[in-house]
Amino acid sequence: MSQYLLRRLAQVVPVVLLVATLVFSLIHLIPGDPVELMLGDGARAADVEALRSSLGLDRPLGEQYLDFMKGLAVGDLGSSLHFRRPVTALLVESYPATLELAVASMAVALLIALPLGILAALRRDRFADHLSRFLSLLGVSMPNFWLGPMLILVFAIYWNLLPVSGRSGWASLVLPAITLGTALAGLLTRMVRSSLGEELHRPYVVTARAKGLLRWQAVVRHALRNALVPVVTIVGLQFGALLTGAIITETIFSWPGLGRLLIQAIRLRDYPLVQGCVLVIAVTYVLVNLVTDVMYAFLDPRIRYREEAA
């Protein structure tokens, strides 16, 4: 297992370097001059050039790239052009809110998807199965930008049960988590139903039943673990997607997370801050995939055995 983990870690390093290079290159292709945006249209040319020189934006792109990579090696992502604060400090302040929202959304999705998916697999082609498929289709069909305002209207404005926006405690987390977790719950429900339904007909499950195990015992002890292998893959990929998909939800609920900070940085043409936000999201996605691979190998040891043999 240690060799498998070291091999995966070695593969992450060049991916992170490539991601950092792409982020730097793409950000500088965005049209618009951040200096002119900061000073306004009526600024004098001398003032524009002075500010551009103080920010280092008048240097060749290659020099800016080398400085960016050197700073990245020591955790220095530069200073925000608009907030005049270190980008790392802004990211450290915003990232916990996004991570909290992503974890809560994933918890909502799993609490809905696992029971519904297992019930649908055990009651295939019955009422419970049809109901779970309808609910999963309904969850996937509702976009965040529609579901979020509807939840605000019902639970925050009409019934006055939950806060409209902000991050002021667990109550303010409920509506954003439900907004993000609903679509994911629909996807995971169908995955659990399909995967567990296939495992229930495997010979080892039939053998377990023949030895006297009750059906729920055979499902919990044997079938469910194997059925969760593809589900873990989807969960890992979707958890990374939650960090990027949270942009819309954070904007709707004024959640002070990384997605909202990214929108502000793009609107202000704040190159260093945009680079930092996109880079953190991309690196988080890579690390989540790494954890997913490790969990995948833990659930199915044949995977790491094949790689070690190769």
- For every residue of 119-142, DSSP letters joined together read HHHHTTTSHHHHHHHHHHHHHHHS
Confidence of residue 145 (pLDDT cuts 50, 70, 90): confident
Q: Which domain range does residue 178 map to?
A: 87-309
Percent of the chain with pLDDT over 90: 15
Per-residue pLDDT, 292? 78
Higher pLDDT, 245 or 193: 193
CB 278 within 8 A of CB 23: yes
Per-residue pLDDT, 51? 74
Q: What's the residue count for the chain?
A: 310
Burial class (CB in 10 A: 0-12, 13-18, 19+), 32: exposed
Tokens of 112: 């809905």
Q: What is the domain-level CATH number for residue 172?
A: 1.10.3720.10
Lowest-pLDDT range, 65-69, 186-190, 240-244, 276-280? 240-244
Per-residue pLDDT, 38? 67
pLDDT in tens, 205-249: 778 777 777 777 777 777 887 788 778 778 877 887 777 667 888
79 lies in some domain: no
CB 201 within 8 A of CB 226: no
Rg (CA), the chain: 24
CB 118 within 8 A of CB 196: yes
pLDDT in tens, 31-75: 666 677 666 677 788 877 887 787 777 788 888 888 888 888 888
Residue 302 has pLDDT above 80, yes or no: no
Residue 177 has pLDDT above 60, yes or no: yes
Stretch 96-108: mean pLDDT: 91
Lowest-pLDDT range, 56-65, 147-156, 174-183, 250-259? 56-65
Lowest-pLDDT range, 167-181, 186-200, 208-222, 278-292? 208-222
63 lies in some domain: no
Phi, psi (deg, nearest 5) at residue 79? -115, 145
212 lies in some domain: yes
Find residue 86's DSSP bridge partners: 79
98 lies in some domain: yes
188 lies in some domain: yes
Per-residue pLDDT, 147? 92
pTM: 0.80
To the nearest whole number, what is the mean pLDDT of the chain?
Answer: 82
Per residue in 61-89, is it b (16+ CB within 10 Å) or e — as a string? eeebeeebeeebeeeebbbbbbbeebbbe
Per-residue pLDDT, 305? 47
Per-residue pLDDT, 299? 64
Confidence of residue 304 (pLDDT cuts 50, 70, 90): low
In Å, how far from its chain's centre is CA 138? 22
198 lies in some domain: yes
55 lies in some domain: no
Torsion sign across C-alpha atoms 243, 247, 252, 256: positive
Confidence of residue 265 (pLDDT cuts 50, 70, 90): confident
Helix, strand, or coil (residue 79): strand
The number of distinct structural domains making up the chain is 1
